[in-house]
Chains A and B, each alone.
Chain A
Amino acid sequence: MQDALFYTFAFLTLMFGFLVIANPFSRNPVTSAMFLVLTIISLAGLFVLLHAFFLAAVQVLVYAGAVMVLFLFVIMLLDLKAEERRKIKTLGVVGGLISTGAILAIFLSSLLKAPLGATQSPVVEGGTVALAKLLFTQYLLPFEIVSLLLLVAIVGVVLLSKKDLK
């Protein structure tokens, strides 16, 4: 049952992910965005299978519910008709293939090094309480530094949206 669900969600994630970037039926940016939402929701399904309920809920809440709505908002406000008709450039395809290949190489090399097989699966503490304890004790400094990054982004947005700086 668990395996069947894993393969279903994994397949859905990959399929929707593929449809985001290379949809044979439509080159509409809104369709791509909607497939990205579906990818995120299938990813949340994979998190649930890992017993990481908190991450699954936050994944849907933050990415599918907030970030993607803003994406959609921006896509709809811009006129992207030209985007639909645009030809695919050779340089872009080659660059994309090279970078994907590099990432794939890193994944494969670490996969080959990893001792796979019938080992004891680690106990996953995915509940909110366990996660909160780790975030506020062991990983407090990285957590705070990440929030600083968000602050930088906010200041950047304010700077960019002001037309003339005084």
Chain B
Amino acid sequence: MIQAIIDWFGSPVGLSVLFSAVKILGVFSVLMFIVAYSVWVERKVSAAIQDRCGPNRVGIFGLLQPAADAIKSFLKEDFTPAHVRKTYYWLAPAIVMIPSLLTVAIIPFGSLIGNEKMIIADLNVGVLYTFGIVSLGVYGIVLAGYAARSKYPFIGGIRSSAQLISYEIAMGMSVIPLFLIAGGLDVQQLSAGWQSLLAGTSGLNLNRLVTWQAGNGWLICYAPISFVIFLAAMFAETNRMPFDMPECEQELAGGYNVEYSSMKFALFFMGEYASMTAAAALMTTLFLGGWSLPVAGLNQPATTIWIGLIHIGIFLAKVCFILFMVIWVRWMWPRFRYDQLMDLGWRRFIPLALANIVITAVVLWAKS
């Protein structure tokens, strides 16, 4: 029996299952670590900006604060108000978490370790899958607002659905020029390492985008307008300041999560930071060259395990940089008014994104 299981893991199918399981476990734990500590960074950065100390009681520099917070949310009373719709009230916090966990599955977080690609699912529809999953993220918030059966959470949920729908369009359109620019990648002319990385890929695959950026420079230099639109849409999609309409504390007393307490409330919080991390990872891949770095030969797929690990480190460093920036913006910028937000999305970003596509296409056509 045990021998049979060992043999099965030795077979090609068993090996791929084993490697996938290891990668999923690794990505999940790193994601959860980043979620826990970005909350800590958020509190420290806000404290520094507002001339306070921030968390400093638990561990050195308050480094154990996330653990203390976790224990606190588990031990608090899980109170369910009598007037809520029970099923949706229980489902909503879980639904908030799922999309961000699914998004990271197709992000290439490294090049190769051995012969194994450092990506959980190497999909050819890559970026479309991401947008499909991201668009499901709205349900958690909408249902939380609906489940509460009270005014403020409901307004938060309604605002959120309108906001996410609006900015998804701009976000999706801002990515099209990237694939127009990088679409002409000729895999046949690349070295053997690249060919093994890109075997069987086509079209919208994210690893191809990274490959193109490693050879030609980061896409942020080629498509700066796309970058600006994507960045703004990312803030809106993850409900971060200056676009955190669904939860705005002053008007809605916290928005969709008013009726929640203890671990369910914490899940909304974790969901927000997980989707921030997923969006930062996507942005790194699309605009900042993914795991590649144009120094010291780090622009090639790894041939040794050490370089493979360094690539993962580079990727994580870029993600952390974006997260830091997102956190910083929150404490520097006041919130938009709701009508300004919709106006910005529909009347500024969408026409700009459309013009960006046309201009990119014309320039590429003129060059060819």
B contact face: mostly helix, strand, loop, or mixed: helix
Contacts of B133 in A (CB 8 A): 60
Looking at B123, B133, B135, B158, the one whose CB has the most chain A CB atoms below 10 A away is B135
Considering only residues 46-69 of chain A, those with a C-beta below 8 Å from chain B are 53-54, 56-58, 60-61, 64-66, 69
- Contact pattern, A 127-140, Cβ under 8 Å of B = 1, otherwise 0: 11100000000000
Considering only residues 9-58 of chain A, those with a C-beta below 8 Å from chain B are 30, 34, 37, 53-54, 56-58
Minimum Cβ distance to chain A for residue B12 (Å): 15
Query: Is B158 a contact partner of A57 (Cβ separation < 8 A)?
Result: no
Query: Is A72 a contact partner of B135 (Cβ separation < 8 A)?
Result: no
Considering only residues 169-213 of chain B, those with a C-beta below 8 Å from chain A are 202-204
Query: Is B158 a contact partner of A61 (Cβ separation < 8 A)?
Result: no
For chain A, the count of residues having a C-beta within 8 Å of the partner chain is 22
Contacts of B129 in A (CB 8 A): 57
Given contacts A57-B132, A65-B132, contact A129 B125 (CB under 8 A): no
Contacts of B331 in A (CB 8 A): none
Query: Is A128 a contact partner of B124 (Cβ separation < 8 A)?
Result: yes
Q: How many Å lie between the Cα of A30 and that of B204 in the bound state? A: 35
B168 within 8 A of A: yes
Contacts of B202 in A (CB 8 A): 127-129
Binds A, one of B138-146, B285-293, B337-345: B138-146
For chain B, the count of residues having a C-beta within 8 Å of the partner chain is 28
A77 within 8 A of B: yes
B136 within 8 A of A: yes
Query: Is B161 a contact partner of A53 (Cβ separation < 8 A)?
Result: no
Select from chain B the residue with minimum beta-carbon distance to A132. B203
Query: Is B162 a contact partner of A54 (Cβ separation < 8 A)?
Result: no
Minimum Cβ distance to chain A for residue B238 (Å): 16
Contacts of B154 in A (CB 8 A): 76
Select from chain A the residue with minimum beta-carbon distance to B157. A76
B165 within 8 A of A: yes
A70 within 8 A of B: yes
Given contacts A57-B132, A60-B132, A76-B146, contact A69 B158 (CB under 8 A): no
B164 within 8 A of A: yes
B90 within 8 A of A: no
Q: How many Å lie between the Cα of A65 and that of B135 in the bound state? A: 5
Minimum Cβ distance to chain B for residue A18 (Å): 18
Query: Is B203 a contact partner of A60 (Cβ separation < 8 A)?
Result: no
A contact face: mostly helix, strand, loop, or mixed: helix
B19 within 8 A of A: no
Contacts of A66 in B (CB 8 A): 135, 165, 168
A73 within 8 A of B: yes
Minimum Cβ distance to chain A for residue B172 (Å): 8
Query: Is B203 a contact partner of A61 (Cβ separation < 8 A)?
Result: no
Q: How many Å lie between the Cα of A109 and that of B134 in the bound state? A: 41
Q: How many Å lie between the Cα of A129 and that of B125 in the bound state? A: 10
Contacts of B128 in A (CB 8 A): 54, 57-58, 61, 128
Select from chain A the residue with minimum beta-carbon distance to B133. A60
B37 within 8 A of A: no
B265 within 8 A of A: no
B328 within 8 A of A: no
Contacts of A54 in B (CB 8 A): 125, 128
B9 within 8 A of A: no
Minimum Cβ distance to chain B for residue A114 (Å): 30
Given contacts A65-B135, A66-B168, A129-B202, contact A72 B123 (CB under 8 A): no
B269 within 8 A of A: no
Select from chain A the residue with minimum beta-carbon distance to B145. A76
B222 within 8 A of A: no
Query: Is B125 a contact partner of A128 (Cβ separation < 8 A)?
Result: yes
Q: How many Å lie between the Cα of A138 and that of B142 in the bound state? A: 42
Query: Is B125 a contact partner of A57 (Cβ separation < 8 A)?
Result: yes
Q: How many Å lie between the Cα of A64 and that of B134 in the bound state? A: 11
Contacts of B204 in A (CB 8 A): 128
Contacts of A30 in B (CB 8 A): 88, 146
Given contacts A73-B158, A76-B154, A128-B202, contact A53 B136 (CB under 8 A): no
Select from chain B the residue with minimum beta-carbon distance to A70. B165
Contacts of B162 in A (CB 8 A): 73
Given contacts A69-B161, A76-B157, contact A60 B125 (CB under 8 A): no
Minimum Cβ distance to chain A for residue B105 (Å): 13
In the complex, besides A64-B135, A76-B158, A77-B158, 9 extra interface pairs with C-beta distance below 8 angstroms are: A34-B139, A54-B128, A58-B132, A61-B135, A69-B138, A72-B139, A73-B158, A76-B146, A127-B203
Q: List 19 A-B contacts (CB under 8 A).
A: A30-B88, A34-B139, A34-B143, A57-B132, A58-B128, A60-B133, A61-B135, A65-B136, A66-B168, A72-B139, A72-B142, A72-B161, A73-B158, A73-B161, A76-B146, A76-B154, A127-B124, A127-B203, A129-B202
4 A-B pairs with least C-beta separation: A65-B135, A60-B132, A61-B132, A57-B128
